[in-house]
Amino acid sequence: MAKVASDVCDARCQLFHSEMIRKENAIRMKWFLKNQQRLIDQLREPKFIKRAKEIITEPKKREAARVDKPTICNYSADL
């Protein structure tokens, strides 16, 4: 009997969470549509373009600076 009650609760919780996700996505999309022109205008400004390029190249620089070190074993091979 308890399994049936928990199944009902699980279904309600899942429905609640999926509804909240749908609502959040709708609000996010509404905000984007409202601010779309402002976002596009900001992309044309040089300081935003420069920052976007820095963000893109940053992982490449970090990867190039990485040094592979040899593995150090704490145990003796002849044991």
Q: Would you say residue 38 lies in a domain?
A: yes
> How many residues in total does the chain contain?
79
What does pTM read for this prediction?
A: 0.44
Q: Would you say residue 14 lies in a domain?
A: yes
Q: Would you say residue 67 lies in a domain?
A: no
Q: What is the extent of the structural domain holding 32? A: 7-58
* pLDDT the model gives residue 2: 47
Q: Would you say residue 74 lies in a domain?
A: no
Q: Would you say residue 44 lies in a domain?
A: yes
What would the mean pLDDT of 20-42 be, rounded to a whole number?
90
Structure confidence at residue 58 as a pLDDT band (50, 70, 90): confident
- The total number of structural domains in the chain stands at 1
Q: Would you say residue 69 lies in a domain?
A: no
Q: Would you say residue 1 lies in a domain?
A: no
Q: Would you say residue 50 lies in a domain?
A: yes
